[in-house]
Amino acid sequence: EDQVTQSPEALRLQEGESSSLNCSYTVSGLRGLFWYRQDPGKGPEFLFTLYSAGEEKEKERLKATLTKKESFLHITAPKPEDSATYLCAVQENTGNQFYFGTGTSLTVIP
């Protein structure tokens, strides 16, 4: 059973068209939830860590939120340079294992 599921798999937005990416998880105890941005041919770049339900983090046009079973990455008025794959990962309370989702590929059209 997948511990982390991301949706949608791919998303195309017009420049300025706000939207949200979803990350749902099924681990029993959450130590932390992480969002990364990955450009083609490069390693993932850290964006946010969320620890508990109700927490929010913001960086430029991105805002990440967390509930007990899912996280959202909200993108406000996106620009073409926001085009990338966004990965979600969770770390359980029980150990050092990290579980990654398959990512959402975002394309922002000028």
Partner 1 sequence: DGGITQSPKYLFRKEGQNVTLSCEQNLNHDAMYWYRQDPGQGLRLIYYSQIVNDFQKGDIAEGYSVSREKKESFPLTVTSAQKNPTAFYLCASSPSGSGGASLVIFGPGTRLTVL
* Under rule CB under 8 A, residue 78 binds partner 1: no
Measured between alpha carbons, how far is residue 64 from residues 58, 71, 96 in Å?
A: 6, 7, 23
Residues 18-57, interacting with partner 1 (CB under 8 A): 31-32, 34, 36, 41-46, 49, 51
One character per residue 79-108, x = contact with partner 1 (rule: CB under 8 A): --------x-x-x---xxxx-xxxx-----
CB 49 within 8 A of CB 32: yes
| CB-based burial, 1-26: b 16+ in 10 Å, e otherwise | eebbebeeeebebeeeeeeebebbbe
Kindly tell me which of 53 and 77 has the beta carbon lying closer to partner 1: 53
The contact set with partner 1 (CB under 8 A) reads: 31-32, 34, 36, 41-46, 49, 51, 87, 89, 91, 95-98, 100-103
